[in-house]
Chains A and B, each alone.
Chain A
């Protein structure tokens, strides 16, 4: 069996594992859809009222039956109905996903555009004060939580400039590209900067490794220009760990960035998951986590495939 086929066969198994985990975990947590809706007032319900509401939320069947129904629906492409949103789970997810995807792309572009050159610069200036400065900035970037950066940006924009991206009413890119970008650029910077710091550190160390390799020395001794040695000979070979890191990060970002979405009031996947947990919207939580897991696996697969494209010596699946 080819590598790709093997990976594709394991997909459904992993997804079923994830779905069982989420299904059980959310039901083990105290509280249910009724307490989520009524809060402490739920205590005023009579036993008959409680029975009526339990049936309304579909909690009257045992877990196995609930899971089986959900699984059957899944095979028909039906992830169930979200109680909080009053519409099919898949519709809610597909409504929110474009924003999450766009935010993930923008953050990655910012992270790579800042992180890679900074890492290469630091590696080629190894040990000099400029290298130290880049490393210090990278350290600060990596250790500052994204919500601190986000709140700082909002503070500076609102107090210093008296302007903020429109919050609460999100415009998709195809409706109003300019407004869309104005709404996403600061969240993307918030997410991208922290990741840029990681990219800087990892690309710096990978470049340092590669720059000491024989073939780089050979290229230099043949009189290749310094710029060509760095960007054409060394960098492609230093990219493998950067691709691994970026793939992982991109996979995470496709699951939504809860804190940044909360601060900037962006209706992304992260908030869907958080709200589904807080409101005990079981169908929505199961559906969205499954969707996120699926995306994560696809991204990982693409990263693996990218290895062999970057370095032809890597043959996937060979022992």
Chain B
């Protein structure tokens, strides 16, 4: 009997040891980066994908004409150089003669022309089309020179061209109708395998005109729970990870072997009011809400202080000091007075919508705002919705108030023309426009002098904060975490992972 028990014990230990050995696993090859993220890309067509993860994946495969560096300066990508004509209606690009698609074909002006014609073709369904409506015609002057003729001066178009939604794709692949299924870009990595919602395998593109990459490839795993990503990093199973949740990100620095990279981003957390609904139709009511909200407290409580309070413009080179904006210092007495002036001394009831987990801080932000506004008699009912339901409701403008995380752009015109111009596509979401805002946007679009543009957008920002159609709260960080053995990554304010092309992994 005793012998049988001993035998059982030995076999149990053997199984446990074997499982343990299998769990630790074999390390990946020297220069392959093992990466994880919680949300996978949703498709492969660079002109149609807008999801954050899709863009992050595709910017490793495709290249636009130009891209933004870590300081939001426009730097070469497929194009080596570019020049606006003196009246701002012609934009000429010289392409990098070494640029090649991953099928070995050179990137030519014909590909650039075909790519933009594809974007402009309504049948494609490319959302970036709205940014390129000023393009009247495109001339492929020679294989490496392309000229965009614009119907009006349009300085922000260059910034719009840095977006991956304006990526250069091969004219041949467009003709084959294969953009959706087979990514053939000119970027630093090639997609070898994609198992949706599970993993991606990328290998270095040896033909990349940008030079050799520091790693042989990237294996991306989709680990939907960020707690599991943290655990996998602790055990050394993952070298590099993209994180969304500040609660998880702030745990990274506690681990000796891990490093957290924080990059301030242009996207902004905002409380959108709906100025077409009573009583937000009243300027005094909107201003009262602005005065009653303690933005710093929202940031500190919902996001553990991870970020900074912001005005409407988040690009550092254009932004105004938030302290100089209307009611950025909380003033409950002033708020109460404004409410009384508008005839709402006793307050009112309204509903605020928020999306589940998008951003992860949304519900917490709504709760803090609810308690702050209660002090001026505003009773908020919080409605948390699944993301798609939220998007649908948001696009219809069917809300009193909405907690949102809206994307930013390096150029204030590209960022806000959709909301605050008379022809903006998202006018019915913003539901507010005045001549001053529209006029300043148009002036900023045509002005080519950077100093003059700064003044224009500063006036725009001050006016917007004072009219308070929305209450801008804070900007946060994009987070990536890495093992100390990973070196050379630089994050950017748009959350780009293009920096992975320069990363090395030490063994």
A interface residues with partner B (beta carbon < 8 Å): 29-32, 35-46, 48-50, 52-53, 56, 84-86, 151, 154-155, 157-159, 162-170, 176, 178-179, 181-182, 185, 262-265, 267, 271-272, 275, 278-280
- Could you show 14 A-B contacts with beta carbons less than 8 Å apart? A29-B389, A40-B394, A41-B50, A44-B426, A45-B425, A46-B129, A49-B129, A158-B235, A162-B236, A166-B23, A167-B237, A168-B198, A169-B221, A275-B196
Q: Check B123 against A42 for contact (C-beta < 8 Å).
A: no
Q: Does B224 contact A (CB under 8 A)?
A: yes
Q: Check B225 against A263 for contact (C-beta < 8 Å).
A: yes
- Say which one of B226-234, B330-338, B454-462 lies at the interface with A: B226-234
- Set of chain B residues within 8 Å of A182, measured between Cβ atoms: 19, 22-23
Bound: A167/B232 CA distance, A: 8
Q: Does B248 contact A (CB under 8 A)?
A: no
Secondary structure call for the A interface: helix
Closest B residue, CB atoms, query A261: B224
- Set of chain A residues within 8 Å of B235, measured between Cβ atoms: 157-158, 162-164
Q: Check B18 against A271 for contact (C-beta < 8 Å).
A: no
- Set of chain A residues within 8 Å of B43, measured between Cβ atoms: 37, 84
B422-443 Cβ-contact flags toward A at 8 Å (1 or 0)? 0001100100000000000000
With A84-B42, A154-B227 already in contact, the answer to whether A39 and B391 are too (CB < 8 A) is: yes
A95 → chain B closest CB, angstroms:
9
Other A-B pairs beyond A151-B227, A167-B232, 6, CB < 8 Å: A35-B392, A39-B50, A154-B231, A157-B235, A164-B23, A263-B228
- Set of chain B residues within 8 Å of A40, measured between Cβ atoms: 391, 394-395, 406, 426, 429
Q: Which of B125, B196, B199 contacts A52 (CB 8 A)?
A: B125
Q: Check B22 against A168 for contact (C-beta < 8 Å).
A: no
Q: Check B418 against A86 for contact (C-beta < 8 Å).
A: no
- Set of chain B residues within 8 Å of A159, measured between Cβ atoms: 231, 234
B223-255 Cβ-contact flags toward A at 8 Å (1 or 0)? 111011011101111000000000000000000
Bound: A64/B257 CA distance, A: 58
- Set of chain A residues within 8 Å of B231, measured between Cβ atoms: 154-155, 157-159, 164
- Set of chain A residues within 8 Å of B230, measured between Cβ atoms: 158
Q: Check A39 against B19 for contact (C-beta < 8 Å).
A: no
With A40-B395, A43-B425, A271-B197 already in contact, the answer to whether A35 and B18 are too (CB < 8 A) is: no
- Set of chain A residues within 8 Å of B134, measured between Cβ atoms: none
Closest A residue, CB atoms, query B398: A30
Q: Check A267 against B130 for contact (C-beta < 8 Å).
A: no
Of B25, B126, B221, B235, most A-chain CB atoms within 10 Å: B235
Q: Which of A32, A38, A169 contacts B50 (CB 8 A)?
A: A38
Bound: A181/B24 CA distance, A: 13
Q: Check A265 against B22 for contact (C-beta < 8 Å).
A: no
Q: Does B271 contact A (CB under 8 A)?
A: no
Q: Check A31 against B225 for contact (C-beta < 8 Å).
A: no
Q: Does B124 contact A (CB under 8 A)?
A: yes
With A84-B42, A182-B22 already in contact, the answer to whether A37 and B221 are too (CB < 8 A) is: no
Closest B residue, CB atoms, query A162: B235
- Set of chain B residues within 8 Å of A45, measured between Cβ atoms: 125, 127, 425
B72-96 with Cβ < 8 A to chain A: none
Bound: A185/B222 CA distance, A: 20
- Set of chain A residues within 8 Å of B224, measured between Cβ atoms: 262, 265, 271
Q: Does B393 contact A (CB under 8 A)?
A: yes
Q: Check A86 against B181 for contact (C-beta < 8 Å).
A: yes
Bound: A115/B387 CA distance, A: 40
Q: Check A37 against B22 for contact (C-beta < 8 Å).
A: no
Q: Check B222 against A168 for contact (C-beta < 8 Å).
A: yes
Closest A residue, CB atoms, query B196: A85
A150 → chain B closest CB, angstroms:
9
Q: Does B186 contact A (CB under 8 A)?
A: no
Closest B residue, CB atoms, query A156: B231
Q: Check B19 against A30 for contact (C-beta < 8 Å).
A: no
A207 → chain B closest CB, angstroms:
26
Q: Which of A53, A154, A176, A280 contacts B125 (CB 8 A)?
A: A53
- Set of chain B residues within 8 Å of A151, measured between Cβ atoms: 225, 227
Q: Does B48 contact A (CB under 8 A)?
A: yes
Q: Does B30 contact A (CB under 8 A)?
A: no
Q: Check A278 against B23 for contact (C-beta < 8 Å).
A: no
Q: Which of A31, A157, A263, A278 contacts B392 (CB 8 A)?
A: A31
Bound: A37/B237 CA distance, A: 31
Q: Does B122 contact A (CB under 8 A)?
A: yes
Q: Check A162 against B127 for contact (C-beta < 8 Å).
A: no
Q: Does B49 contact A (CB under 8 A)?
A: yes
- Set of chain B residues within 8 Å of A39, measured between Cβ atoms: 50-51, 387, 391
Q: Check A84 against B127 for contact (C-beta < 8 Å).
A: no
Of B125, B126, B406, most A-chain CB atoms within 10 Å: B125
B129 → chain A closest CB, angstroms:
7
Q: Does B20 contact A (CB under 8 A)?
A: yes
Closest B residue, CB atoms, query A95: B195
Q: Does B388 contact A (CB under 8 A)?
A: yes
Q: Does B386 contact A (CB under 8 A)?
A: yes
Q: Check B196 against A84 for contact (C-beta < 8 Å).
A: yes
**What 5 pairs between A and B have smallest CB-CB spacing?**
A168-B221, A31-B388, A158-B231, A30-B392, A48-B122
